[in-house]
Structures are given as structure tokens and as C-alpha cells.
């Protein structure tokens, strides 16, 4: 069954994308999550048995992209998919694979797009889908790059902190699966405490401070994991060449140590982070199994879909075309292995600034109605397509094609009525089962109807003349035509009226 395409942005969306400002990443808190879960406390006390299996765990992610009430400020989906590749790289050593579950969801909600913590929780509970990890991409996420909240049981991500090499999403998913910050205990209070010249206190905000000798690491101090090194730094910091903080710190015993930047659950900068410790990995895997509703099947094989293997078929590059008002503009490309859906960029400029973006599921063509305010003639348009695999979102766009749209040919009200009253089914139709049925009622006049089927190259592949219209009704079955997969146009001519129906053979 063919899936409908999803329009991400209209001209209105694109205009508002230009005027909505994002707070720079460096001006945001690294994370708004605090605390440690009761589940993890029980796990570290040995009350929850650890899952020691190393089998691959597949976790469904639902992507929600939030914009304002006018349909603007939506984050470009390609940035999210690029970041998801980094997330899967970060969790690869844990043998955990995240995949895009279901359709990408667009939410026009200004209050959610720029929210504080309380509003975020309420909106998550309103929009969450069941049995998935819900992720919301917003302009402002409670003043931070991101956070996970157990009350809303979802992750919120600020648009400014999403990108191909950003680790914020991996960090927040760590929180989702119950990991605290490596500096847990130091995150409370107005100012971070960073002992450099004096030993650290033995407790901080009621919790023991982790010692370098490992005497209190096991569930008591810090994050409770003994294979993550002590960390007292509750602010974003850059590492030296050896991946450590620039200043040595002193633990409560006065022992000097270097704060390590490799843990993703720290506040080190993205280029310092490497991954999760073995103990963190076991806790995450155990938490996934304990939830009982987050596993999904792994396909036997999956690879990224490669845009270089695709071709943009129609219109041909730099083609001068005209379109019928009733038909709109059709774009077609070749299918590519491993593609679960396609992102189509369509723009009036070669830099794709303010471009319209579409997600197309289950087919390799897109029809843009001539009524779309973005479609004007004469006008130059540029388009490209990116194939996406749900499990491996690495990918690039095809080379760009140019369209020279010369004219939009208007349809009369009678022609529009003819197109509306004629039904073609099944549509889409499976290749090899090409029999199509035309039915209609309320057709204007009793003139005979002529039918032609045209392929994208403009070739007539079928013609039937002088079909009888009786009392405004039609019932006619086209013979099996053994057509190749692709898009075709059924041209209906009655008297001086012309209408076109789009047919998909898959």
C-alpha cells in the first residue's frame, strides 16, 4: 500500500523559518536534567538483576518536530537524521540500534516550541506515542540544549544543539535509560564547585563525593558506577589533547586527579566525548528490557540508502516545461535500494534557502499542486532528493536538477468538475495487475468521452475513443496493459473540456 507524502513546509513556513532566531548553543545550558532515578538506585543496590546478554537491541525512536502555530520554525529533518547517525555510532559499542519509527510527526504549537520545564512535561504527555522513545525538537527546550524528564517520559532537544557531530541527543538518551551525569551531586546549587587548590568536601548537597581510590564508587558517590572516573565539573568544558580538563582537581583525600572527557554523560565538549562505560552499558540494556515495550525487530540486513545511486528522472535537468493547472508539477526519481522514505528539497534558489521540504513514503514521485503558492511561472526551480533508511540514516542528496517552469495552463470550472467526477481505481495499482476501472456520475453533458494514457516521456500507451456517457454516468474498465512501474497520466477529453488524472503503477 502506498503511503501518502508529507509536506513539511509551505512558502509560509519558509518565510517564518527565516525570521525565527535560535539561541546559540554556547548560550544554552548543556542539559536541564538533574537527579538520579529510583530505578537506578534499586539497580545499583542489587535489587534489579542485570541483563548480561550481548544480543543486539533495536529501539524505536519517534521523531516529533515542533514549530509555531503559523507552521514556521520547523527544524530541517536532514539535520536530525545526520545526528541520529552519530547517536547510533555512540551506542554501537553497547550493541543498541535506534531506528526511525513511523512517520515523522510535525506539531504546530508555539507554546511547546518555546517552553519551560512545566509546559514541556504537559505537552509531552499530550503528544507522546506509545511503546517508542519520544523525541521532541523545539526552538527552546527550557533554556538548555536538551533534557529528559521522567514525568513526561520523553526527550526534548533544542534545535541549536542538533547536528551531525553533536552529542547532546546521545547524552539525553542516556538519561532516558536512567543514566545520571557523571558529576551527579555537583549539579545542584547556583554555582558549580570546582576544587583546584583545595581538596573537595566529603559530601556535596547531601551526597558523598567520589574518591579516586574507588572506595565509595559503588552506588554511593557520584553516578554510582565504578568504571566512570570521578567528575566534579557541572559546566560545559573543553578538553586538552589528552582528553582531560585543563586543571587537575583534588578529591576529598587530597589526591590529585585528571577529569576525563570521554564519558558522554559528562559536560565535556562534543569532540572530547567517546562513549559509555561497560557498567553504564549494562544498566542501559537492563533498563530497556525492564520497560518491556521498547524492543522491535532488527531486519536481516540494513545499509544506508545511497543518493549517488539515484537519478532524477522527470523533469529532465534544465528542461523548459509547462504544466496544466489541473495536473500540477510532478517530480519523479529512480528507486534506490534500502530507502524507506525520501526527502525532497524544492527551491526557487540554488542555495535552497527557504526551500520547501517534503517527505515521501512508499513511492518515488511527488506531485505539487499548481495551487501551491510557491508554484509560479515563469520561474526557475531547483530540486534534489535524499533517500533514507530507517536504521542507518547516513545519506546525501542527489545532485541538483533545474526546472524552467514556463507556463501554468489554466483549467476551466467544467474541466475541474470533469476531473473531480471521474474516479479511477485501484490507484495505485500493482504492476502486472494493470486493469483500471473508470467510474463517474454527474458528468456535465452527454458528449462522448475520449481516454488516453500517457507516460512521463509523453508517449501514448493506451487510447480509447467515444466512450458513451448516459445520464452523466460512466463505467468503463481499461484492459490489462502490462505497464512498467512509474507515473502515468490519464487524459480525459469530452467536447472542449480536458482533465487529467495521475496514475501510479508500483
Q: Which residues pair with 486 in a beta bridge?
A: 505
Q: What is the pLDDT of residues 107-166, one digit of tens each?
A: 999 999 999 999 999 999 999 999 999 999 999 999 999 999 999 999 999 999 999 999
pLDDT above 90 covers what percent of the chain?
Answer: 62
Residue 194 pLDDT grade (very low, low, confident, very high; cuts 50, 70, 90): low
pLDDT at residue number 413? 66
Given a cut of 90, is residue 420 above it in pLDDT?
Answer: no
Residue 2 pLDDT grade (very low, low, confident, very high; cuts 50, 70, 90): very low
How far apart CA 331 and CA 318 sit, in angstroms, is 13
Residue 445 pLDDT grade (very low, low, confident, very high; cuts 50, 70, 90): low
pLDDT at residue number 18? 37
Q: Are 107 and 154 in contact (CB under 8 A)?
A: no
pLDDT at residue number 388? 97
Q: What is the mean pLDDT of the chain?
A: 88
pLDDT at residue number 300? 59
How far apart CA 281 and CA 278 sit, in angstroms, is 5
pLDDT at residue number 22? 73
Residue 472 pLDDT grade (very low, low, confident, very high; cuts 50, 70, 90): confident
Given a cut of 70, is residue 13 above it in pLDDT?
Answer: no
H helices within 350-479, ranges in order? 413-421
Q: Are 138 and 111 in contact (CB under 8 A)?
A: no
Q: Are 59 and 133 in contact (CB under 8 A)?
A: yes
Which grid coordinates belong to 189? 546549587
How far apart CA 217 and CA 211 sit, in angstroms, is 7
List the domains of the chain with CATH numbers: 29-179+277-298 (3.40.390.10), 182-275 (no CATH), 307-409 (2.60.40.10), 413-505 (2.60.40.1930)
Average pLDDT over residues 340-349: 96
Residue 12 pLDDT grade (very low, low, confident, very high; cuts 50, 70, 90): very low
The residue assigned the cell 501510479 is: 504
Q: What is the pLDDT of residues 48-107, one digit of tens each?
A: 999 998 889 999 999 999 999 888 889 999 999 999 999 999 999 999 999 999 999 999
pLDDT at residue number 494? 79
How far apart CA 382 and CA 375 sit, in angstroms, is 12
Q: Give the DSSP H or E segment for 492.
A: strand 486-494
Kindly report the number of other CB atoms within 10 A of residue 97's CB atom. 18
**Residue 362 DSSP symbol:** S
Which grid coordinates belong to 73? 520554525
Kindly report the number of other CB atoms within 10 A of residue 40's CB atom. 23
Q: How far is CA 346 from CA 213, 214, 282, 289, 352, in A?
A: 59, 57, 45, 42, 7
Q: Which residues pair with 320 in a beta bridge?
A: 404
pLDDT at residue number 11? 28
Average pLDDT over residues 329-335: 95
How far apart CA 115 and CA 318 sit, in angstroms, is 45
Amino acid at each position: 500500500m502506498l503511503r501518502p507524502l508529507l509536506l513539511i513546509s509551505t512558502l509560509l513556513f519558509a518565510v517564518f523559518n527565516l525570521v525565527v532566531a535560535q539561541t546559540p548553543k554556547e548560550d544554552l545550558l548543556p542539559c536541564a536534567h538533574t537527579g538520579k532515578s529510583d530505578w537506578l538506585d534499586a539497580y545499583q543496590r542489587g535489587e534489579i538483576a542485570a541483563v548480561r546478554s550481548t544480543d543486539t537491541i533495536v529501539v524505536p525512536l519517534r521523531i516529533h518536530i515542533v514549530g509555531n502555530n503559523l507552521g514556521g520554525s520547523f527544524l530541517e529533518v536532514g539535520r536530525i537524521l545526520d545526528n541520529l547517525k552519530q547517536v547510533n555510532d555512540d551506542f554501537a559499542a553497547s550493541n543498541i540500534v535506534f531506528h526511525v519509527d513511523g512517520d515523522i510527526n510535525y506539531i504546530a504549537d508555539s507554546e511547546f516550541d518555546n517552553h519551560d520545564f512545566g509546559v514541556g512535561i504537559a505537552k509531552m504527555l499530550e503528544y507522546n506515542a506509545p511503546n517508542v522513545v519520544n523525541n521532541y525538537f523545539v526552538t527552546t527546550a527550557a533554556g538548555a540544549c536538551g533534557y529528559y524528564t521522567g514525568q513526561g517520559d520523553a526527550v526534548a532537544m533544542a534545535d541549536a544543539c542538533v547536528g551531525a557531530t553533536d552529542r547532546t541527543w546521545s547524552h539525553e538518551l542516556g538519561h532516558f535509560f536512567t543514566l545520571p551525569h557523571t558529576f551527579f551531586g555537583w549539579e545542584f546549587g547556583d554555582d558549580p564547585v570546582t576544587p583546584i587548590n583545595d581538596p573537595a568536601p566529603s559530601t556535596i548537597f547531601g551526597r558523598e563525593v567520589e574518591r579516586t581510590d574507588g572506595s565509595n564508587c559503588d552506588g554511593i558517590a557520584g553516578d554510582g558506577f565504578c568504571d566512570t572516573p570521578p567528575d566534579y565539573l557541572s559546566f560545559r568544558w573543553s578538553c586538552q589533547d589528552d582528553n582531560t580538563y585543563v586543571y587537575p582537581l583534588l578529591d576529598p583525600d587530597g589526591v590529585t586527579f585528571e577529569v576525563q572527557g570521554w564519558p558522554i554523560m559528562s559536560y565535556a565538549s562534543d569532540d572530547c566525548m567517546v562513549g559509555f562505560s561497560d557498567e553504564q552499558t549494562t544498566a542501559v540494556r537492563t533498563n530497556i528490557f525492564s520497560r518491556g515495550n521498547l524492543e522491535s525487530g532488527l531486519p536481516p540486513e540494513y545499509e544506508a540508502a545511497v543518493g549517488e545511486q539515484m537519478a532524477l528522472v522527470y523533469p529532465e535537468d534544465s528542461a523548459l516545461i509547462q504544466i496544466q493547472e489541473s495536473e500540477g508539477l510532478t517530480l519523479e526519481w529512480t528507486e534506490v535500494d534500502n530507502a524507506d522514505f525520501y526527502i525532497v528539497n524544492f527551491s526557487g534558489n540554488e542555495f535552497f534557502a527557504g526551500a520547501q521540504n517534503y517527505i515521501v513514503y512508499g513511492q518515488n514521485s511527488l506531485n505539487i499542486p499548481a495551487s501551491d503558492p510557491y508554484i509560479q511561472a515563469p520561474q526557475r526551480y531547483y530540486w534534489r532528493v535524499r533517500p533514507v533508511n530507517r536504521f542507518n540514516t547516513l545519506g546525501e542528496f542527489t545532485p541538483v536538477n533545474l526546472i524552467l517552469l514556463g507556463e501554468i495552463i489554466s483549467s476551466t470550472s467544467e474541466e475541474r468538475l470533469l476531473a473531480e467526477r471521474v474516479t479511477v481505481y485501484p490507484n495505485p495499482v500493482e504492476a502486472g495487475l494493470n486493469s483500471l476501472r473508470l467510474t463517474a456520475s454527474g458528468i456535465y453533458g452527454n458528449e462522448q468521452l475520449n481516454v488516453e494514457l500517457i507516460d512521463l516521456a509523453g508517449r501514448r500507451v493506451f487510447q480509447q475513443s467515444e466512450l458513451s456517457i448516459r445520464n452523466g454516468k460512466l463505467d468503463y474498465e481499461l484492459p490489462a496493459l502490462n505497464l512498467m512501474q512509474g507515473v502515468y497520466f490519464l487524459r480525459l477529453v469530452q467536447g472542449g473540456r480536458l482533465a487529467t488524472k495521475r496514475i501510479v503503477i508500483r
